[in-house]
């Protein structure tokens, strides 16, 4: 990390060599890991694809359960697929109680990521949905903040 | 700045590979497995099926290694499982457990930037993954190059963790949940071994809490393994050994102190500070017994017994 341009050069040189035989990797996840910012370490990703909400029906949600640990700082980043109509939102729940969301419904403000400074080890639920129940696809990435 | 550039380099590497591999991206977007999407509905409840999904997230050696780094505990190769044992493994059970164990070791090595030392572990992981027919998700050559260059740690960490996540996802999506469960158990037991061994020799409240909190997680891990425990003698033995660790946790108490969370906006980012707290009560004697039992189970597994 002391010589970033050297690293970048190596990466460019390696590109053709890596173009074959690479296992499946989600490009959007990689992009989202970068979007999570510096000083983070990737832990998990969730791929979300949801249909448009039916009239008078609940907004479709993708739910994932995850253990979060005391004394750890987590960042939850969301990224929309290029063709996605909807904008992906994450809401963090603890035993059914909403803790934090990347979208404030009352102000309409949306964040590309949220940070959670965890003080209680336990099982948390991540809810991913699209604003206004639009059809959409995207990824949610969970990182540990160093 | 350097962090951003290394991450950009990582993405260039990944995108270059992806451009040849994932034609769906060029024709309208990435392929999202529909099985990942579930409709909204009932409130969160923990059925056994849900626990299977939970447990995919329980074992993160990277998080344990980060605690050890924060404690300034020096790296010790003595905590690593010997790789020469891997050549003696014959059953899928053994391969899957050891894939998890070496995965935890890889996380430990990478977090401590001992990347030059990790090539042997990487080669072993590749052999085991191939043996389980999941080698396609483990890009040994790229990981080896990144390890040997000792420079692009972000990329290395991302690729190695992502490889395990993909293997896990593939196994569960292809009705090989029993293999996935074994891999997860392997990651957990090695992380537990590392955490308990260090906790015995270094006084640190955070690490001690982390060991104590495994009481909660171990319960779910047992639930994950339970459906398969009659499938073979090996599985039965593993389940009983894990139950043995669980028994040592019986008198460890985990309680909670209530507190209202605080939300702030910091540099345009929304941050929640949780004030509700989990509190672990665990005596030195309990810690010693848990550590001893964890070590015994881990050593049995790596010796193939």
pLDDT at B31 over 90: no
Most confidently modeled range among A31-40, B1-10, B41-50, B136-145? A31-40
Residue B7 at interface with chain A, using a CB cutoff of 8 Å: yes
Q: Please tell me which residue, B39 or B178, carries the higher pLDDT value.
A: B178
In this prediction the ipTM stands at: 0.80
pLDDT score at B175: 81
Least confident of B32-41, B101-110, B272-281: B32-41
Mutation for A interface: B33, B60, B115, B216, most A CBs within 10 A: B60
Q: Which residues of chain A have pLDDT under 70?
A: 1-26
- The minimum CA-CA distance between A90 and chain B, rounded to whole Å, is 12
Please list, residue by residue across B176-188, b when 16 or more beta carbons sit within 10 angstroms of its beta carbon and e when fewer do: bbbbbbbbbbbbb
Rounded-to-5 percentages of helix, strand, coil across chain A: 20, 45, 35
- pLDDT more than 70, % of chain B: 80
Residue B22 at interface with chain A, using a CB cutoff of 8 Å: yes
Put simply, the answer to whether A15 touches B30 (Cβ < 8 Å) is: no
In chain A, residues with a C-beta closer than 8 Å to the C-beta of B161 are 41-43
Tokens of B300: 């049995």
pLDDT score at A86: 96
Catalogue all structural domains in chain A, each as residue range(s) with its CATH number: 22-145 (2.60.120.380)
Tokens 């890991």 belong to A33
* Mean pLDDT for the stretch of residues B63-91: 89
- The minimum CA-CA distance between A105 and chain B, rounded to whole Å, is 14
pLDDT score at B142: 84
Helix extents (H) in A49-130: none
The domain ranges of chain B are 47-251+283-302
pLDDT band at B237 (very low <50, low <70, confident <90, very high): very high
* Mean pLDDT for the stretch of residues B79-100: 89
- What angle, 0 to 180 degrees and rounded to 10, lies between the N-to-C axes of helices B92-111 and B153-173? 160
Put simply, the answer to whether A22 touches B20 (Cβ < 8 Å) is: yes
In chain A, residues with a C-beta closer than 8 Å to the C-beta of B153 are 1
pLDDT score at B51: 54
Search chain B and give the residue with CA nearest A133.
Answer: B40
pLDDT score at B192: 96
* Mean pLDDT for the stretch of residues B121-135: 91
pLDDT score at A22: 31
Alpha carbon of residue A42 to chain centroid: 10
Search chain A and give the residue with CA nearest B43.
Answer: A96
- Chain-wide mean pLDDT for chain B? 81
pLDDT at B160 over 90: no
Kindly calculate the radius of gyration of chain B based on its CA atoms and give it in whole angstroms. Answer: 20
pLDDT score at B96: 93
Answer yes or no: are the C-beta atoms of B167 and B183 closer than 8 Å: yes
Interface of A with B in 56-115 (CB under 8 A): 58-67, 69-72, 81-84, 92-96, 99-100, 102, 111, 113-115
pLDDT score at B63: 87
Tokens of B156: 């290395």
pLDDT band at B305 (very low <50, low <70, confident <90, very high): low
Mutation for A interface: B4, B20, B44, B159, most A CBs within 10 A: B44
Answer yes or no: are the C-beta atoms of B32 and A53 closer than 8 Å: no
In chain B, residues with a C-beta closer than 8 Å to the C-beta of A103 are none
In chain A, residues with a C-beta closer than 8 Å to the C-beta of B166 are 23-25
């Amino acid at each position: 990390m002391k010589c970033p341009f050297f690293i970048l050069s190596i990466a460019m040189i390696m590109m053709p060599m890596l173009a074959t035989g690479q296992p499946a990797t989600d490009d959007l996840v990689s992009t989202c890991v970068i979007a999570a910012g510096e000083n983070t370490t990737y832990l998990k990703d969730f791929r979300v694809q949801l249909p448009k909400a039916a009239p008078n029906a609940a907004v479709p949600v993708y739910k994932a359960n995850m253990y979060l640990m005391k004394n750890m700082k987590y960042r939850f980043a969301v990224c929309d697929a290029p063709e996605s109509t909807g904008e992906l939102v994450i809401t963090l729940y603890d035993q059914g109680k909403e803790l934090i969301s990347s979208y404030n419904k009352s102000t309409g403000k949306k964040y590309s990521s949220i940070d959670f400074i965890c003080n209680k080890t336990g099982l948390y639920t991540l809810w991913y949905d699209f604003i206004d129940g639009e059809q959409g696809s995207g990824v949610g990435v969970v990182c540990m903040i160093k | 700045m350097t962090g951003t550039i290394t991450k950009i380099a990582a993405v260039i590497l990944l995108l270059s590979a992806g451009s040849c591999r994932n034609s769906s991206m060029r024709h309208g977007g990435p392929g999202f497995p529909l099985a990942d999407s579930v409709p909204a509905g009932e409130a969160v409840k923990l059925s056994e099926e849900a626990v299977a999904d939970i447990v995919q997230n329980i074992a993160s050696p990277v998080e344990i290694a980060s605690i050890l780094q924060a404690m300034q505990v020096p790296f010790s190769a003595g905590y690593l499982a010997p790789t020469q044992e891997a050549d003696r493994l014959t059953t899928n059970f053994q391969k899957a457990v050891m894939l998890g164990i070496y995965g935890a070791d890889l996380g430990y090595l990478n977090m401590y930037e001992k990347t030059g030392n990790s090539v042997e572990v990487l080669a072993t992981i590749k052999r085991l993954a191939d043996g389980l027919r999941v080698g396609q998700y483990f890009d040994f050559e790229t990981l080896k190059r990144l390890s040997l260059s000792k420079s692009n740690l972000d990329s290395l960490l991302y690729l190695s963790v992502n490889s395990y996540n993909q293997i896990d996802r593939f196994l569960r999506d292809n009705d090989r949940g029993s293999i996935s469960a074994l891999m997860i158990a392997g990651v957990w037991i090695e992380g537990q071994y590392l955490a308990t061994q260090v906790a015995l020799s270094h006084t640190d409240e955070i690490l001690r809490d982390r060991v104590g909190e495994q009481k909660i997680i171990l319960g779910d891990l047992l639930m994950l393994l339970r459906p398969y425990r009659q499938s073979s003698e090996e599985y039965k033995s593993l389940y009983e050994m894990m139950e043995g660790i669980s028994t040592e946790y019986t008198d460890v108490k985990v309680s909670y102190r209530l507190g209202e969370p605080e939300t702030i906006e910091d540099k345009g980012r929304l941050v929640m500070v949780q004030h509700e707290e989990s509190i672990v009560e665990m005596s030195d004697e309990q810690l010693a017994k848990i550590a001893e039992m964890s070590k015994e189970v881990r050593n049995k597994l790596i010796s193939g017994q």
